[in-house]
Amino acid sequence: MTPKIISVKIGYSNSILLVNGANSILIDTGVKGDLQQFKTLFNKYNLKPTDVKLIILTHTHNDHTGNLIELVQLTRAKVLVHKNEFENLKTGFTPIPSGTRFYTKVVVFLGRNLKPRHASPEPFIADFTNIANYSLSDYGISGEVIHTFGHTAGSQSVLIGKTLIAGDTFFNIREKIIFPPFANNPQQVLKTWAVLFGMGIEEIIPAHGKKFRVEKAVTEFEKWNKKLKIRG
């Protein structure tokens, strides 16, 4: 089954609800402090909190894991994180990622020296880990979680048909920024993009900004590929 895909802004980061009755799934849990928005969201689509059976984390930065503990208590859902970031979530420490532009490099330098835990989640032990692909068929959904690393080592996205729920693998923010302003491995981001383009994705739903067509990202790929000189 193809679920209804609902994107809602929680603080400054999007959470995505896959509406599928008693087997619904939540992707990312936004910025901490907006639990009521989730309650309103569930009610709007005639879901009981316990209808949410799985929470998928695209990665473990705190703007994607805020409200996680409260939502698990509310929904009793299981939590899936990539294997590469299981320990980050468990210990409650995820390093601030590297900047990809001059101004974000400055922000990172200051953050790492003055507030190194700024991007970190609250400690939590996930129920499941993904390595490469995680099918959603057990939840009656035609889709899968795929490893899309580059922003972080454990970044993952959810593919539903031709729609990619991308976490921070893609952005769509001010000044037409599509390439992540922060990424631990910018070259790998481009390699991941190339793989995704080859998979035939058509629509991208980022964690920051509105959804957009893949053609917009292809143009950005060409610009950054020249800048970073990626080969193979």
Predicted TM-score (pTM) of the model is 0.96
What the chain holds in terms of domains, given with CATH numbers, is: 4-228 (3.60.15.10)
Q: Which two tokens stand for residue 185?
A: 């491995």
For residues 142 and 166, give the distance between their C-alpha atoms in angstroms, rounded to a whole number: 17
Strand ranges in the chain using DSSP code E only, listed in sequence order:
4-10, 13-19, 24-27, 52-56, 78-82, 128-130, 133-135, 144-147, 156-160, 163-167, 203-206, 212-213
- pLDDT tens readout for residues 107-148: 999 999 999 999 999 999 999 999 999 999 999 999 999 999
pLDDT band at 175 (very low <50, low <70, confident <90, very high): confident
- pLDDT tens readout for residues 81-92: 999 999 999 999
pLDDT band at 174 (very low <50, low <70, confident <90, very high): confident
- Average pLDDT over the chain reads 96
For residues 151 and 49, give the distance between their C-alpha atoms in angstroms, rounded to a whole number: 31
pLDDT band at 232 (very low <50, low <70, confident <90, very high): low
pLDDT at 138: 97
For residues 210 and 168, give the distance between their C-alpha atoms in angstroms, rounded to a whole number: 13
- pLDDT of 231 > 80? The answer is no
For the chain, counts of helices (H) and of strands (E): 7, 12
Q: Name the least confident of 10-19, 65-74, 203-212, 223-232.
A: 223-232
- In three-state form (DSSP H/G/I as H, E/B as E, the rest C), the secondary structure along 77-129 is CEEEEEHHHHHHHHHCCCCCCCECCHHHHHHHHHHHHHCCCCCCCCCCCCCEE
